[in-house]
Amino acid sequence: MSRQARREAIEGYICISPWLVGFVMFVAGPILASLLLSLTYWDIGSAPRWVGLQNYVEIFTNDGDFLQALKVTLTYAVVTLPLHLVLGLALSLLLNLRLRGMNFYRTLFYIPAVLPIVAVTMLWIWIFNPEFGVINHLLSLVGIEGPTWFHSPRWALPGLMLLGLWGVGGGAVIYLAGLQNIPPHLYEAAEIDGANIWRRFWRITLPLLTPTLFFQLVLNLIATFQVFTQSYIATQGGPLQATFFYMLYIYNKAFGTLRMGYGSALAWILTLIILAVTLLVFRSSPHWVYYEAERRKEDA
């Protein structure tokens, strides 16, 4: 290595050193530590005791809370992921129209995504108030007697889902960027060939948007498994554990009852689930994600 190249390399390492330190201290180290911790019993007060796989055995064979937390989180994911995708896409199609005042709408729809989740949750607790809330008032206008929402084991989770959907504009902005990246000449050509708006959507818009959809799906997936604040504030996991999200369970175990080992095991299981589902999505992507560059390669 020449003197100059060596100098550049040293400067390179200096530049990335903050991240390297962070990676070791806050990512790689903790991941390893958490794996080891998950094999111990530790309540912080005394020294950690090695228990092997006992935490995992207990979780899988004798832990109803674990099953409930998994069920709530998966239900939330299965219902809200497609909803966010479809509604976000629909909203972005609207936002992509050339219309006066569109910038205003874009700004407006993105707002819920930047508001503090605590304040948003407070607001929705009040909106969902069974007796004096806005939602039940609006429902009563069309002759429906609204449920008790966060006080009802049946409606608390759907309530949190609605709360989440209010932030659908966050995804829409990303789809919008994807839409605006589609070359307009494709639409013009299709229109001259007599393709109607529906056909143009299915044959041009959707295929060319699949990379963006894929990216959003992966991000949303990871975010969905981490829902915490809404349920912590609005319902504390209740009523009757109807909104007992997985992250809430980890928090309760680790920071409520100080069972750090057990909490780590729970966190690892969740991480593996997220990893598996993400991998599945990645694996499925060649079948439905369309990359323009690859297509060109095939054609050549």
Partner 1 sequence: MNVDSPVTQGGGWLSQLRWNRRVRGRVVSFSAHFSMILLSLIFLIPMFWMLSTSLKSRAQTWLFPPEWIPNPVVWEHFPRIFEVAPVLLFFQNTMIIVFWNVLGQVFSTSLVAFGFARLRFPGRDVLFILLIATLMIPYQVTLIPTFILFKLFGWINTFLPLTVPAFTGSAFFIFLMRQYLMSLPFDLDDAARMDGCNTFQVLLFILLPLCIPPLVIVVVFTFIGVWNDFLGPLIYLNENTKYTIALGLNLLRGRNRTDYNVLMAASLLAVLPTLIVYFLAQNKLIGGIASVGLKG
Per-residue tokens: 29: 């180290």
Phi and psi for 38 in degrees, rounded to 5? Answer: -65, -10
Of these, 176, 208, 227, 242, which contacts partner 1 (CB under 8 A)? 176
Taking CB under 8 A as the rule, which mask of x and - marks residues 216-235 in contact with partner 1?
Answer: x-x---x--xx-xx--xx--
Stretch that binds partner 1, among 52-60, 78-86, 143-151, 214-222 (CB under 8 A): 214-222
73 binds partner 1 per the rule CB under 8 A: no
CA quadruple 68, 74, 78, 79: dihedral sign: positive
E strand residue ranges, 47-148: 49-50
Pick the closer one to partner 1 by CB: 100 or 300. 100
Q: Alpha-carbon dihedral of residues 267, 271, 272, 278, nearest 10 degrees?
A: 160
Instruction: Kindly state the smallest distance separating residue 81's Cβ from partner 1, in Å.
Output: 16
Helix or strand holding residue 169 (H, E): helix 169-180
Amino acid identity for residue 205 in this structure: T
Per-residue tokens: 166: 């209010």
Restricting to residues 149-168, name those near partner 1 by CB under 8 A: 166
Restricting to residues 116-135, name those near partner 1 by CB under 8 A: 116-119, 122-124, 126-127, 129, 131-134
106 binds partner 1 per the rule CB under 8 A: yes
Per-residue tokens: 66: 């674990």
Restricting to residues 2-31, name those near partner 1 by CB under 8 A: 5, 8-16, 18-23, 25-27, 29-31
